[in-house]
């Protein structure tokens, strides 16, 4: 592993455990080529595949990808239907690679509004990869951080009402156990493509001390070299977590 990191000029003592990515720019990528937005989503699959493979190769612990937000339901039905078909196709085609690379898959977000066949495929992929011991890939589908925090608060309140949890027991650590991301480390590095400087309702609780890296590269064009560049920049930063350097 050290030889591999050295190949890319990465410091093994300055590697993130968890990278989260806001995959933005599919629509603009398509417009610049006079294609439909749907074509932008189709070409984005290659960026997802290369990013997952690179993170697994580098020995990262976790990668979270923002695939579909709770706000995305306002998009045209044809686009949403295509996104769901692409997701199912990706699951079907990538399962052998995930198993080969010992990648554990996990879906985060509200599942109930998703099509039944999508829910079934997500659950099946989680089941198949549950015992893999490599990179964990968390796919945020029908995800919104405010929704996540509200859902966590409701679960806490329900336990308090049943007498299973006291107010005294609720703190930053215990509250995190009620989030969709329970059991995952907080992201160290948050990447956003397409040059936008917004967090877009993504991991608001978890990314409180994440390092941000924004690139003008549109997501369908995002490749290994861009990921390596982001990790290098992360390694040059001093993380103080509110303390003194």
Residue 243 DSSP label: S
Q: Do the bridges between strand 18-22 and strand 104-108 make them parallel or antiparallel, or are there none, so unpaired? A: unpaired
Question: Which alpha helices (H) appear in 17-115, and where do they start and end?
Answer: 26-32, 37-57, 77-100
Select which of 3, 13, 72, 221 is catalytic: 72
Select which of 3, 13, 24, 142 is catalytic: 24
11 is known as an active-site residue = no
Question: Which alpha helices (H) appear in the chain, and where do they start and end?
Answer: 2-7, 26-32, 37-57, 77-100, 116-129, 145-161, 172-176, 224-236
Dihedral sign from CA coordinates of 62, 64, 65, 67:
positive
24 is known as an active-site residue = yes
Residues assigned a catalytic role: 24, 72
């Amino acid at each position: 592993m050290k030889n591999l990191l050295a190949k890319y000029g990465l410091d093994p003592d300055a590697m993130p455990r968890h990278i989260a990515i806001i995959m933005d720019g599919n629509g603009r990528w398509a417009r610049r080529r006079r294609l439909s937005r749907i074509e932008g989503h189709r070409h984005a699959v290659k960026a997802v595949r290369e990013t997952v493979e690179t993170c697994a190769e580098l020995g990262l612990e976790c990668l979270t990808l923002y695939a579909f937000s709770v706000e995305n339901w306002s998009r045209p039905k044809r686009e949403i239907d295509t996104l769901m078909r692409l997701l199912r196709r990706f699951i079907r085609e990538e399962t052998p690679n995930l198993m080969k690379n010992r990648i554990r898959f996990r879906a985060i977000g509200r599942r109930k509004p998703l099509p039944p066949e999508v829910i079934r495929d997500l659950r099946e992929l989680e089941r198949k990869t549950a015992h893999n011991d490599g990179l964990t890939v968390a796919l945020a589908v029908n995800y919104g951080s405010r929704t996540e925090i509200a859902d966590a608060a409701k679960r806490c309140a329900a336990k308090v009402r049943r007498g299973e949890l006291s107010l005294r027991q609720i703190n930053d650590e215990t509250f995190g156990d009620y989030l969709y991301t329970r059991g995952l480390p907080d992201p160290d590095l948050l990447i956003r493509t397409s040059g936008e400087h917004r967090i877009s309702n993504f991991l608001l609780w978890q990314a409180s001390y994440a390092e941000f890296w924004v690139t003008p590269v549109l997501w369908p064009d995002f490749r290994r070299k861009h990921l390596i560049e982001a990790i290098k920049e992360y390694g040059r930063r001093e993380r103080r977590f509110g303390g003194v350097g």
